[in-house]
Structure formats: C-alpha cells, structure tokens
Amino acid sequence: MSTFVFPDNTVLCNFGVVDRLDVLRDALRGRGRWTEAVAYEADRSSRTIPPLALLPTAGWLGDPIEVTDPAEADHVDRIRRAVFGGTAAEPLRHLGEAQTCVLIQGHGEFHDAWWVSDDRDALEYARRQGIMTRETIDIVALSVADGDLSEEDAFRLLHSMADQGRSLRLPATPADLTR
C-alpha cells in the first residue's frame, strides 16, 4: 500500500471494541490519517470504548487534519447536509464523512487515498465520487495477506466485532479472507 488511508470512526470503533487497534495500526503501515471531526468522534466514542482514548497520543493516524479555509469549510457543510443528511441543529453529525470526502477530493496529496468505512451510505457516495473505498473486512484481509493474522484469527476477530454489536460485512468462512 503506497497511499494514505482515512479510517472513519466506525472502523476505529470496530477495532477498539475488541481492543485490537494494533491490527488496524499494523495494516495501515504508517499511512493512516484522520480529520479533526473523526478525531473528535473517536474521543467521544472513547467514553464507551476506552482503547480509543489512546489514539491521539499513539500518533499512527498523524495529527488530525483541520479544514481551515472558509470556502472549503462551506463545501464540507454543503456535503454534510446534502449528501449525508446533516442538519443545522446537529452541526457535528456526518462532519467526519464530509471532511474526509473534501480532503480526498480537494487536496492533491490525498487524491489516491483510501477511505475506510462500514457506513453503507457513505461508501456508496464515495464510490460514486471515484474515491477508493475499503471496509473493515478489507483491512483485516490485508492483515492476513501481510501475514500478520491467520485466516482463522481474522475470521474470529471480525465475528467478535459483530458479537459486540458492530455492523460490518462478515466473511462466511475463514478462507473468504484470502479470495
């Protein structure tokens, strides 16, 4: 993998809920990035998923990327509302998704970045926009391909996430992670 990877909060929570953020970190191989809104969401999620509290100091997602240009911030808000259903009453709702889209589409250094999410609507939109997308299952399959996890361990890991109430695509068998 030679490009940046932006996991969203759903993905961070998937790995965090089973206390295996190390698997995500290793799979990203130093390419992980996050927006300020995703960092904020992860901080809020750390109240119920404590391993997420370590992310800011761990450093493997880099510093949260801020959207500071007023025109770009307006673009983020338009996408947040029009595409993801955000509202004025909830200004943070879907902000991470919108910031990630704008950064990947509008910043040259991120033009070939991957967006990792398990949010179906976000993935559909990103794919229509030509953004390379992946899901938690793809990151775990990458860990299998890299030799960091066996098929069986990866299969159990994904199913453990689902057992903890996480919504993600699951393989039917361990061998599905190498096909």
Q: What pLDDT is attached to residue 2?
A: 55
Please indicate, yes or no, if residue 163 is contained in any of the structural domains.
yes
CB-count burial class (<10 Å; 0-12, 13-18, 19+) for 30: exposed
Q: What pLDDT is attached to residue 86?
A: 86
Please indicate, yes or no, if residue 60 is contained in any of the structural domains.
yes
Domain with 56 in it:
5-66+112-173
Q: What pLDDT is attached to residue 107?
A: 86
Report the run of H or E that residue 6 belongs to, with start and end.
Answer: strand 5-7
Count each helix (H run) and each strand (E run) in the chain, helices first: 9, 3
Please indicate, yes or no, if residue 150 is contained in any of the structural domains.
yes
How far does CA 67 lie from the centroid of its chain?
18
Residues of the chain falling short of pLDDT 50:
1
Q: What pLDDT is attached to residue 77?
A: 94
How many residues are listed for the chain in this entry? Answer: 179
Q: CB neighbours of 71 closer than 8 A, spacing ≥ 6? A: none
Please indicate, yes or no, if residue 140 is contained in any of the structural domains.
yes
Please indicate, yes or no, if residue 78 is contained in any of the structural domains.
no
Q: What is the pTM of this model?
A: 0.94
Q: What pLDDT is attached to residue 87?
A: 87
Please indicate, yes or no, if residue 96 is contained in any of the structural domains.
no
Q: What pLDDT is attached to residue 22?
A: 97
Distance (Å, whole) CA 56 – CA 62: 8
Q: What pLDDT is attached to residue 85?
A: 86
Total number of domains constituting the chain: 1
Please indicate, yes or no, if residue 88 is contained in any of the structural domains.
no
Please indicate, yes or no, if residue 119 is contained in any of the structural domains.
yes
